[in-house]
Each structure stands twice: as C-alpha cells, then as structure tokens.
Amino acid sequence: MFNLENMDDDFLDALANDLFSPLIRFDYSPPEIKEVQVKKGDTVVISWKTSEPCRFTLHYEQPESAAPGDITNEELKEYHQVILQDLIPDTVYAVVILVEDRAGNQNTEEITFKTEPVPDSDVPLPLPEKSKIPKTLLVIPVVLVMVAFFILKMRK
C-alpha cells in the first residue's frame, strides 16, 4: 500500500519511468506554439516552433469558399514547415494550426494572411483589331490600275 499524498512528483515520475518507460501520463501541459512566420511569394511558406516534439494538422480555407485544405504530419518534431501552393492571388486565407504532443495534449494557433496580387505583366496588351477591308475591294483598284497601264501602253 502506498499513500500517494506523501510522494512528490519527481519520485512518482522516476517510479513510473522505471515501470512504464517512457512516461507520458503525467504530462498535462499543452505544447506552446512559437515564432509563427508566413513567407509569401509564388508559394506561401508557414513555419513555427513548438516547445516540445509534436505532430500537427494545419487547416486552411479562404472565406466564402467550399474548398478547405488540411495538411497533417504525424512526425514528432519541434520545427514545422508547410508549403501551400496553387492559392488564389490577392485573397485572404484563414489558417488553424493544431499541435499535439506525445501525451495527447493539444494547442491551437489561428492566423490569417493575404496572398500577393497578380504581378503587373511586361507583356504589351494586344492592339485593337483594325477593321478588315474585304479582299474584293482591294482587287478592284489593282485591276483598274492594270487596265489603265495597259491602255496607256497601247496609245504609245
């Protein structure tokens, strides 16, 4: 028989580590999410750190859209990075990062970002289309010039 009130946490952790290695059941604190960064360009790179090794799910969606996306990584690590591609330019996206440590403790971080607008193009705009003259109208003056030339030649 043990009276757990007389035992300190360090002793209980050491005892549990010896019996149930690795111990995860005495961890009740959620992991911290720190240093969230969003780098925008052709793609959007979201990175963050956690206070301990975690797995994550990143959920993103644009307002008024029915096409959200989820990215999950089950690998336990402290440095995380996600690359989002094929996003709509000049659009606001909402992102929720959910992290979970070995013990199942979870934490979330919500962010929003706006994608870059479409860059100005150096390609010139097409010129307005000129009105097309029917070919028959072009043939008539040519024929008249040829007839006039022939008549002048015959008079000489």
Tell me if 19 is assigned to some domain: yes
How many domains is the chain built from? Answer: 2
Q: Which comes out higher in pLDDT, residue 12 or 112?
A: 112
pLDDT of residue 23: 46
Q: What is the CATH number of the domain that holds 106?
A: 2.60.40.10
Convert the pLDDT of each residue in 34-69 to its tens digit.
999 999 988 899 999 999 999 999 998 876 666 778
Beta-bridge partners for 45: 39, 83
- Cα(117)–Cα(141) distance, rounded to whole angstroms? 53
* Burial category of 82 from C-beta neighbours within 10 Å (exposed 0-12, middle 13-18, buried 19 and up): middle
Tell me if 44 is assigned to some domain: yes
**Residues 120-147, mean pLDDT to the nearest whole number:** 71
Whether residues 54 and 96 share a domain: the answer is yes
Beta-bridge partners for 49: 34, 79
Residue 41 CA, chain-centre distance (Å), reads 10
Banded pLDDT at 141 (limits 50, 70, 90): confident
Tell me if 88 is assigned to some domain: yes
How many Cα atoms are found within 13 Å in the side-chain-facing hemisphere of 142? 5
- Cα(109)–Cα(32) distance, rounded to whole angstroms? 9
pLDDT of residue 119: 73
Whether residues 43 and 104 share a domain: the answer is yes
Convert the pLDDT of each residue in 60-90 to its tens digit.
887 666 677 888 999 999 999 999 888 888 8
Whether residues 68 and 11 share a domain: the answer is no
Tell me if 153 is assigned to some domain: no
Tell me if 43 is assigned to some domain: yes
Q: Which of 78, 96, 114 is the last residue of a domain?
A: 114
Convert the pLDDT of each residue in 5-18 to its tens digit.
666 777 766 766 66
Whether residues 39 and 9 share a domain: the answer is no
The answer to whether 109 and 82 have CB atoms below 8 angstroms apart is no
pLDDT at residue 143 greater than cutoff 80:
yes
Whether residues 6 and 38 share a domain: the answer is no
Tell me if 152 is assigned to some domain: no
Tell me if 49 is assigned to some domain: yes
Tell me if 139 is assigned to some domain: no
Whether residues 12 and 52 share a domain: the answer is no
The answer to whether 71 and 45 have CB atoms below 8 angstroms apart is no
Whole-number mean pLDDT of the chain? 81
Going by DSSP bridges, is the β-strand pair 33-40/92-101 parallel, antiparallel, or unpaired?
A: unpaired
The residue range of the domain holding 20 is 1-28
Whether residues 40 and 82 share a domain: the answer is yes
Whether residues 54 and 8 share a domain: the answer is no
pTM score, whole prediction: 0.59
